[in-house]
Amino acid sequence: MAIAARLTGRASDGATEMTIDLTINIWEEGNQFVAHALPLDVMSSGSTPEAARKAVDEAIRCFLKTAADHGTLEQVLEECGFERRNGAWISPNWVGVERHAVAVAV
């Protein structure tokens, strides 16, 4: 399924706003929950799954704002697998997210 990222208008400070839909995996590590935003490869954590979601949302905002400020937003999105079609950034088509085990001789 393709997911779109669209420029949605202007923020109060005059900046262009962007809405981006992506997949987030959340898992527990000790007493923290880690959220990983695919395909941007941005991670953050929190004491609850919801706190981890909020933290990764903020990390995504900072990551994309920094890329935009440096004039590299389009390059970053392309390198993450997004394609620009009809004014929207379309995310890669995910085939599946699965738990997988690999045998390793040590």
First to last CA, the chain: 39
Angle, alpha carbons 46-102-47 (nearest 5°): 5
> Quick one: which of 61, 58, 86, 85 has its CA closest to 73?
61
Peptide bond into 92 cis (omega under 30): no
pLDDT at 83: 86
> Quick one: which of 53, 54, 72, 51 has its CA closest to 63?
72
What tens digit of pLDDT does each residue of 10-39 get? 455 666 777 787 888 999 999 999 999 988
pLDDT at 1: 36
Mean pLDDT for all residues in the chain: 85
In the chain, the amino acid numbered 50 is E
Residue 52, both tokens: 């981890």
